[in-house]
Every structure is written in C-alpha cells, then in structure tokens.
Amino acid sequence: MINFLQTKWSSKGAIVLALSTVLLGACENNLEREAAVPETNVTTEEVADNTNQLIGKTVTVRSTPIRKLGPSTFTVSDKQFFGTEPILVVNASGKTFTLPTDPNIPIQATGQVRNFVIADINRDYNLGLDPNLYKEYESRPAIIAQSIALAPKPGEITTNPSLYYGKTLAVTGEVEDIRNASSFTLDEDKLFGGQDLLVIRAATPKATVNEGEKVAVTGVLRPFVVAELEREYDLNWDLTLQKKLEAEYSNKPVLVANEVYPSAIP
C-alpha cells in the first residue's frame, strides 16, 4: 500500500514527492481512508539521476509507457523532461498487465528500484526473460513492480468508460462531493464533456479525507448497478441515498476503491 505523501517542487519544476506523516482529525463532511506503509513517489528522471539513493527502496512512478519489450517488461519516461533516460519496468506482480493502446494514458507502477541484472531477476522472479532483449538495460536502473495500473483522469474515465471497465485504475482528483462514509465523487478536472467520477469504498476505512482535498484512488471500474453493489459490498446505504445515487449514476461508471490516500500530484 502507499503512504501519505506531500509534494514539493524541484528547481526544474518537477514534482518531488517526500514521505510525510499526516495527522487527520475528525471533522464535518469527511470520509475515512486507510493508513498505508512507507513509500516514496518519484519521477522517472529521479530514478535515472538518483539511482544510488533509491536502490532497494519501494517507489511509485506515474508516467507514460514508451516501449514494450516483452510480456512482462516495458519502459517509461516523463514526457516533460526532454532527453530523460527511459526506465525499465519489470512486472513481477504475478498479474498480466496490458499497456494502453493510447500512448497518452499514463500508468502507475509501484515496486523496488534495482540495478537490472537479468540473471538475478530471472532467478528471483522466475520470469524467463531473454538475455538478448535486455543487453542495453543491463546494470541500468529498473523498477521491479509489484503493482501496475492505468492512471487516467476522472473526466477521461466518465467520457469513455468502456475503455476501463473491469480494469484496475489509479485515479487522482479532487474530492468534490462526499455523499456518505463510503461514497464520494472525484472532480472531472474541467475535461470538456466529462463528468465527476463516483467512488465507493469496498472495505471499512480507517482515516479521514475532506472535500476539496486532492486524493489518489486505486480500484476497479464497473457500471453502477445499485443492487449488485449493495449485495457484494454490504454498503448499508439508507433508502434516500440509494435512490438518489441510482437516479444520478445508474449504469454510469463507478470506481470501487480498495485504497484512498493523499495525492502527490498538485
């Protein structure tokens, strides 16, 4: 899981994400969110430039995929940093991940930073990588990912939800409207024609998040069918809220969240 993070800006304008402890008190109009373990969010530029400081650490990068190398490997790079060295991502999650066909859709990958030595990777993760495909990446920095998800904006999801149904997503946005302790919306970020994205919690939360706060949400997108959601997640919505949500969101997309945490993206 991903820890609470706070953002600062480097001299290049890149987002540098540092660990922070966040103390959250109970307040009006808030939603609970679970605590997470320590971890660092970085840009691909930082992984390339500060490899020695990051070796052995679990990091999260949010970037666009550049090149697919094999069934479980691809490279990522931040478009805003011209000339940044692509970083190899190795999918060691045990789950198949299909890169988006749209090159503008970013992905989020979380895993340990290592110097890529193919013999060690094949031994440790039993991936059977072909040494001939990775000669140029030998001894260069790589992220051995334990989780990977598509990372579209809320408005991109609500505009064309069929692209994302059934997929695990990592979505960042501003909490727009808290409906109750297990549901809220993410602002569509002013995407033309987009709508706010409804989020519901699949598990009992443990901390708080407030309206107007920037958060990141990981979960699976599905059509909003209130009877199915009530049955599968035991939401215990009162009848008034149930009818209101059904009228607004019936068969529209809903992100069923397993994690909600403060966003490092401003």
pLDDT tens readout for residues 135-153: 999 999 999 999 999 999 8
pLDDT at 216: 87
| Residue 231 binned pLDDT confidence (cut-offs 50, 70, 90) | confident
Per-residue pLDDT band for 195 (boundaries 50, 70, 90) equals confident
Is the separation of the CB atoms in 181 and 203 below 8 Å?
Answer: no
The answer, yes or no, to whether residue 178 has pLDDT greater than 60, is yes
> Phi/psi class of residue 106: alpha, beta or left (left: φ > 0; alpha: ψ in -120 to 50)?
beta
pLDDT of 21 higher than 50: no
Q: Is the pLDDT of residue 247 over 90?
A: yes
Q: What percent of the chain has pLDDT over 90?
A: 50
Beta strand 107-115 with 58-70: parallel, antiparallel or unpaired?
antiparallel
Chain mean pLDDT for the chain: 81
Per-residue pLDDT, 193 = 57
At residue 85, the pLDDT reads 82
- pLDDT above 70 covers a percentage of the chain that reads 78
Predicted confidence (pLDDT) at residue 162 exceeds the cutoff of 90: yes
Instruction: Look at 3 and 169; give whichever has higher pLDDT.
Output: 169
3-state SS assignment for residue 231: helix
Average pLDDT over residues 217-237: 90
Query: How far is residue 109 from each of residues 44, 101, 195, 259, measured CA to CA in Å?
Result: 11, 17, 26, 15
Q: Tell me, what's the pLDDT at 9?
A: 34
The distance of Cα 147 from the centroid of its chain, to the nearest Å, equals 9
- For residue 78, what pLDDT is reported? 77
Mean local confidence (pLDDT), 209-238: 89
Bigger pLDDT: 68 or 203? 68
Q: How long is the chain?
A: 266
For residues 86 and 81, what is the distance between their CA atoms, to the nearest angstrom? 11
Residue 10's pLDDT band (cuts 50, 70, 90): very low
Task: List, for residues 28-80, the tens digit of each pLDDT value.
Answer: 344 443 333 335 788 888 999 999 999 999 999 988 898 999 999 999 987 65
pLDDT at site 5: 35
Domains of the chain: 5-12+26-150 (2.40.50.140), 154-262 (2.40.50.140)
